[in-house]
Amino acid sequence: MTTDGGYDTARAVVDLTAAGGQAALELRLGTHGLEHQGVPVSDRQAAAEQPWRDWTAGLRLPGVGRDLVLRSALTLRGLCNDATGGILAAATTSLPEEVGGVRNWDYRYCWLRDAAMAARALVDLGSLTEAEGFLRWVDGCVERTGGHPERLHPLYTVEGFELGAEAVIDTLPGWAGSRPVRVGNLANHQLQLDVFGPVVDLISAVSDSRGSVREEEWRVIEAMVKGVERRWHEPDHGLWEARLPPRHHVYSKVMCWLTVDRALHVLRAHGEGERPEWVELRDRIGANVLEYGWHERAGAYTVAYGYDEMDASSLWIGLSGLLPDNDPRFLATVLKVEADLRSGPVVYRYRWDDGLPGREGGFHVCTAWLIEAYLRTGRRSDAEELFTQMLDTAGPTGLLPEQYDPVAERGLGNHPQAYSHLGLIRCALLLDGKGFSLARGA
């Protein structure tokens, strides 16, 4: 071992023949011990793998894409923090959405939206533990708002606390020269009104699976509906976190509607009494987005009120159950997203100007949304074809990053990404006939 400029370098020559054909390399943390490990490597590996094998043995895996669904489930489980209940959006920071560009973000945090969707995918596979841990985490975040759930941030540290300021590490060159390398995420300060919806949808799925609702989950439901009631009518920054002035995003309004709709479902399926004020709130939000979200010139539901640009998230006008599958407005939106945003095996989030230079790849979770939209609108063969293409982008590891470049045929963005893997699980379950209905619950 040598030391040079503050860095330690270790070099060794190993005679594998003398070592019996193989050698174990160990990295030890928190100890200065150099003694040999008495337990054989194979036994230690088996012991390390056994809890994961036990967990996967309890999953309800579909026949469609079974191996990649299992890999996706393990990936989501690996992004869960058992100690806190938080679920990371991804395990990395600053892997570029455009090689050599500036679209590099830190995803090593817990987004309310991403985490709720990830936990929901695991619930659909038969595992409630991760969702229950995450909902306790959410309950803690709500408690720290001091009775103002409308002030929830879009993301927190895995421990459930606010992030520090976003910063840049100037001394690091970034992957393939993709700078800057960021620590922290400025989206922490944005208003994203959609975050309430996936949380209540998760509680709805958990309570249906378990047959009951826990006290802390009721508290979260009440808080989410209260947050929607106080702010749903405001413009926000949207789920894609564009660093632009707030707009009335269609997806955000739909998720506000979904918050109250799923809350009503839980109330009627597992609670007592009625909440007529919740029914009125849900219907008022639904009527608002159906009227103002439609853009006559585009002939579809678009990114935001008064804007004609398309956005893949607008597919949720139907995926949420707000519009029935056979509604002409949903069918038109699916066709418009397909025409404007699909490119081979991927679907782009949008093509409107988000204020940043360069361009990104197709977004895997948007591809998953279009697959589900195909299924809902009777286009099963198109759904199967696109799903197969999506699986092919995973490569030999079975791991998916955030995005994929269909021209260069390479992954982009932070890796592995919870969004991408939860989308794969959802599509496989739907194609296998095991998907849970997202029809209106009340």
CA nearest neighbour of 438 among 325, 271, 362: 325
Euclidean distance between the first and final Cα of the chain, in Å? 67
Q: What is the pLDDT of residue 197?
A: 98
pLDDT reading at 262 higher than 90: yes
- What average pLDDT does this structure show over 283-308? 98
Of 16-30, 211-225, 345-359, which gets the smallest average pLDDT? 16-30
**Cβ atoms of residues 413 and 399 within 8 Å:** no
Contact 115, 87 (CB under 8 A): yes
pLDDT exceeds 90 at position 4: no
Give all strands (DSSP E) within 271-413, no chain letters.
294-295, 300-301, 342-343, 346-347, 362-363, 403-405, 410-412
> Under 8 Å CB-to-CB from 17, ≥6 apart: which residues?
none
**Residue 237, token pair as written in the block:** 């920054």
Looking at 135-139, 341-345, 351-355, which range is the least confident one? 351-355
Give the separation between CA 25 and CA 138, rounded to whole angstroms: 40
Give the DSSP letter of residue 433. T
Position 439 pLDDT exceeds 60 = no
Q: Which of 88, 75, 99 is nearest to 413 (CA)?
A: 99
Q: What pLDDT score does 129 carry?
A: 98
Q: Mind listing the pLDDT tens digit for each residue in 368-380?
A: 999 999 999 999 9
Is the backbone peptide bond immediately before 96 cis, with ω within 30 degrees of 0?
no
What is the pLDDT at residue 440?
35
Which two structure tokens, joined as six digits, stand for 407? Answer: 């021209």
pLDDT in tens, 105-154: 999 999 999 999 999 999 999 999 999 999 999 999 999 999 999 999 99
Mean pLDDT value across the chain:
95
Task: For the chain, list the domains and their CATH numbers.
Answer: 79-351+360-431 (1.50.10.10)
* Cα four-point dihedral sign 61, 65, 66, 69: negative
Q: Is 290 left (phi over 0), alpha (psi -120 to 50) or beta?
A: alpha
Chain CA centroid to CA 67, Å: 20
Q: How many CA atoms lie within 13 A of 229 on its CB side?
A: 16
Residues 192-213 have pLDDT tens digits of 999 999 999 999 999 999 999 9
Q: Using omega within 30 degrees of 0 as the cis cutoff, is the peptide bond preceding 345 cis?
A: no
What is the C-alpha separation between 184 and 435, in angstroms, rounded? 35
CB 392 within 8 A of CB 64: no
Q: What's the confidence (pLDDT) of residue 438?
A: 40
| Nearest CA among 59, 56, 58, 66 for reference residue 431 | 66
**Which residue in the block uniquely carries the two structure tokens 């002035």?**
245
> How distant is the alpha carbon of residue 205 from its chain centre?
16
